[in-house]
Structure 1
């Protein structure tokens, strides 16, 4: 029989076998309250279609990954630079019987592979490649892979990312060939509205449109379409 410690908590329908010692107090409170990535969890359920091949950048502890993995016949590759959160995400996947996700500790960027410094913070959702973002506990030196090469090699058609400001540079330089839908969290506290404008301009140049029906606040979706008007729907 499962004990309470074995079961952990349930959030967004996902079994979460972690403890308060695994994460910071702020993140633990967000998990206990059910507010942790609640908006993202609702939206990604509408994002995916059967058979999608998904690249997730910024897996965190794997909650959103696990939600996405419930879509039939979906295959997911999920990257995070932080080895601690990758280990937690793998634990979450195992507890939920998820076998269609490959987790990797790594960094995907546009352009030629380079070495980067990644700053690990107690609140892991603040970990980033930006030293000035705030106090950090550790620095990881990590080599990058080219994101477009990975997309092409794996036949990726959906890109999901929450990478603490790095989305501005990546989307400004990557070609995103083969990608149909992009779902990301904007971080205007790191690059201002000018950065948001740059992201929208880059997506427009690559033939993507902002999807207002599947976006909410900083969590936005871009998709390619042929310009055909949509049927009217009542606002949710």
Structure 2
């Protein structure tokens, strides 16, 4: 979908057919400045391999999805608990001729399916399961699906997530069988350094190691550790 009368908006090499009135002023400014998802965009392309099967938790505007989809022969299932974002993410993918990614309004979590309250905020990147994160515009109830069952059914081997603090609880209960890489954004402002420690402990329990080669600040890559030395990268 093209915005009539507006020149194409480019971000990280992608066309972004979104108008100013469809996002908050803060997010619009971030897009125009080229800062939206900049750290993630730089890092995520380095962690993927041809043929990966990826589940993305937190579609956002579909920018990271579309970047990942350019890796040869990957398949992507992208989910967001915010229903307002799914059509925007699909629009971005369509504008960039992405055909190997699907988008769905859905919440994947650990454990049995249950109902959750999701708080939608003006700056959508702050929408979350946390009421005390700040003022919200409205809230919805959404029923979760089990992440591990989805991984098994679809032979997923990579998880990419940006889910505003929910990563701590999700990883504490997940099994992640068949997963060899997990790329996520930490949110220490929501759960403190003790929450970061919990995440690292959960990943250690599951056999993952912090991978400095795919990590930049709060954007962290965890990789299954086979104990083998790796070639030095400058």
TM range (shorter): over 0.9
Given that 1:118 and 1:127 are in contact with CA atoms closer than 8 Å, whether structure 2 keeps it comes out as yes
TM-score (norm 1): 0.96
Given that 2:3 and 2:18 are in contact with CA atoms closer than 8 Å, whether structure 1 keeps it comes out as no
Q: 1:172-191 alignment to 2 at 5 Å?
A: 172-191=172-191
Alignment of 1:99 onto 2:99: yes
CA distance in 2, matches of 1:5, 1:117: 39
Q: Deviations over 1:57-104 (max 9, x none)?
A: 000010000000000100000000111111100110111111100100
Q: By how many angstroms is 1:225 displaced? A: 2.8
Given that 2:3 and 2:17 are in contact with CA atoms closer than 8 Å, whether structure 1 keeps it comes out as no
Q: Deviations over 1:136-158 (max 9, x none)?
A: 01111100000000000000000
Q: By how many angstroms is 1:213 displaced? A: 1.2
CA distance in 1, matches of 2:154, 2:3: 39
SS at match of 2:213: helix
Q: Give 2:70's aligned residue.
A: 70
Check 1:179–1:3 CA distance in 2 against 1; reply closer, same or farther (3 A cut): closer
Q: Give 1:162's aligned residue.
A: 162
Please identify runs of 4+ aligned residues in structure 1 that moved more than 6 A.
none
Aligned residues: 233
Check 1:109–1:3 CA distance in 2 against 1; reply closer, same or farther (3 A cut): closer
Q: Give 2:16's aligned residue.
A: 16
Q: CA RMSD in A?
A: 1.2
Q: Deviations over 1:118-171 (max 9, x none)?
A: 000000000000001001011111000000000000000000000000000001
Alignment of 1:201 onto 2:201: yes
**Gap regions ≥5 residues in structure 1:** none
SS at match of 1:136: coil
**Gap regions ≥5 residues in structure 2:** none
Q: By how many angstroms is 1:26 displaced? A: 0.2
TM-score (norm 2): 0.97
CA distance in 1, matches of 2:155, 2:5: 39
Q: By how many angstroms is 1:36 displaced? A: 0.6
CA distance in 1, matches of 2:73, 2:6: 28
Q: 1:50-65 alignment to 2 at 5 Å?
A: 50-65=50-65
